[in-house]
Structures are given as C-alpha cells and as structure tokens.
Structure 1
Amino acid sequence: MEYKTEEKAIQIISRVFVDDFEDVLGKRFSIPIVLLPDEESKNADQWISRYINQKLNIEIQGKEVQLNFIGKRYEDDRIYLYIEAENIPDFNSISVENLILTDLFEEQKNLVHFKKNKELKSMVLTKSKSKHTFTY
C-alpha cells in the first residue's frame, strides 16, 4: 500500500495464490469460480471486488475509505489485485484491516507494507489481530 501525495490516492497491490483465492471465493459466495487467464469465470471481477470490499478496510480519522478494485494480473501461480482509493487528503494516521483469506485459512498471515513520503512501515496481520494503525 502506498499513499501518493500528488494524486491524493492510496494505491494497493495484494498478491495471493490463485488456488487459495479460488477456494475462498467459491466458499464465500457458494459458487464455483475459476481464476485462470484463459478459463476465467464470468463475472470474476465482480466477485473479487465484492470480496475485497468485505475483507479489506481502511479508515482515516474514523471514516471508512472507499476502495475500488481496478484490475488484476496473473503471474505463475499468483494473482496480483490492484486496488485504489481516490480523493484522500493528507493524513497522519491510517488504520488498515486485512482479513483476506482468513475465513478459509485460520492461520493465515497477511503482511502489510504501507509507504507514505518514502517512509515504509510494515505489520503482520492475522485473523485474531486483523487491524493496525500506522502513524506518520
């Protein structure tokens, strides 16, 4: 995750294994979903967007930030998810909650890197400790 001061935007890239993501989407929405470039399920982007908005949350000054799923890219056995939040004024602290894959994998660990003004901070989030506030 990175805050781009000039664009007043938070840009996010989330990297997950394709097979795990297919499993979690299928179980979460009770439909089979295939995430392969040549065989991708119809409406896959809708399901991905819906899941991201349920499992990834950002708050600035107590207000939830609207996240927009803008696309994806497949690489080997991984899928890169591109997410953006626009019109974000400068801030001193930001809370990030990341529950991606935790509803399928109890021991899932999500490593979150947040960069603002060239300062990088990192935190490991789990199902039991899913939220962290980064202060700059």
Structure 2
Amino acid sequence: MKYSMLPFILILLLISSVFAHPIHLSVSEVNYNSESKSIEVAQKVFIDDLEDGIELMGGPKLHLYTDKEHKDSDLWLAKYFQKHIKFKVNEKDVKLQWVGRETDPKHDIQAIWVYMEVTKIKKIKTLEVKNTVLLAVHNDQRNMVHLTCNEDKVSWLFDEKKITETIQW
C-alpha cells in the first residue's frame, strides 16, 4: 500500500514543476534611438511576480490577462516600473513614460513585455541605470539589462547587492 502512492506523488511533483518558475529573472532591452531622440525600454518579467510586487507596493491584485483583470492595470504597471527603473541622463533624473504591454497567449502566458520610453534626449554623455524590479519579491531576483547607446553595447546584471550602473562616453 505504501508504494501505490509513489506514482501519484511523482505525477503531482512533475505537474507542479511545470507551472512553477524557480528562476527569478527579468530581462530588459534599453536602446537609445538617435533618430527619435528617445530611450526605449522593453522589460520582460514573470506575471505572477510582477503582480506580487504591485501588491507589496500597496496596489490591487491585477489578474492580468484574465476575465477579472483590474480596470487600472496599466496605471499600476506604469507606477510600478517608474518606481523601480530609474534613469539619469547627463546626471539629470528623467522619467519613464508608459508605452504599453503585451504577452503571447499562444506561447508564453507566464511572462509580460512592458514598454516604456524617455523622450527628448538630444545627446547622452552619461547614463545611469537603477533597476530594483522585483527585488522586494524575491531575495534571489536578478535583473539583466542589455543597453545599446552611442554605438556601444553593454550588459549588466542587477541584484540586491548591485542596483545601479553608469556608463560614460
């Protein structure tokens, strides 16, 4: 009788591992577009972690991409990212503006792409990036940022010990 439960337990473990995501990582693409004079940001995060982060910030449960989605989801998403991704251009604070969001319901409903931008940036001499996305949610959270600006490409990894990076030209 003891061994008859083993296959059932193994199946439950397998099913639960399919729905969990043990990696706590976000990925950002940050590009300076010299034609439009803007910094374009695309950030990919896990939806459940993001909703937890917004709740920790005092926001509602968003239920993103469900029938129960909160009517002000985009406002809360913008507020969250404006608080947790900060830029200084030429040593001056600039504010991210909300552009939009998307997910791929056919392939990856666990993650969301969030798009933001900073406009009216004529020239970048120094750029400081501060990224604290989801650090309050998971102590092992990592935030990877790929930056393309002034013909340079760099990548940074942010975590609870390193939240800021600066590049100069």
Band the TM-score falls in, shorter-chain normalisation: over 0.9
Task: Report deviation, 1:39.
Answer: 3.8
The residue type equivalent to 1:94 in the other structure is L
Task: Report deviation, 1:53.
Answer: 1.0
SS at match of 1:29: coil
- Specify the alignment match of 1:110 in structure 2: 143
Deviations 1:13-46 (A, max 9, x none): 0000111111111222252221115442110001
Report runs of 4+ in structure 1 exceeding 4 Å deviation.
Answer: none
Which of the numbers 69, 80, 91 marks the counterpart of 1:62?
91
SS at match of 1:32: coil
Structure 1 length-normalised TM:
0.93
Task: Report deviation, 1:114.
Answer: 0.7
Deviates more, 1:30-39 or 1:51-60: 30-39
Which of the numbers 106, 128, 132 marks the counterpart of 1:99?
132
| Structure 2: gaps of 5 or more residues | 1-29
- Specify the alignment match of 1:49 in structure 2: 78
Taking the aligned partners of 1:37 and 1:83, their CA distance within structure 2 comes to 23
Within a 5 Å distance, the mapping from 1:35-46 to structure 2 comes to 35-36=64-65, 38-46=67-75
The residue type equivalent to 2:81 in the other structure is I
SS at match of 1:124: strand
Aligned length: 136
Is 1:81 the counterpart of 2:114? The answer is yes
Taking the aligned partners of 1:37 and 1:63, their CA distance within structure 2 comes to 39
Bigger Rg, which one: 2
Deviations 1:62-115 (A, max 9, x none): 210111011000121110000000000111220000001011111211001110
Deviates more, 1:112-121 or 1:41-50: 112-121
Greater helix proportion: 2
Taking the aligned partners of 2:66 and 2:114, their CA distance within structure 1 comes to 14
Structure 2 length-normalised TM:
0.76
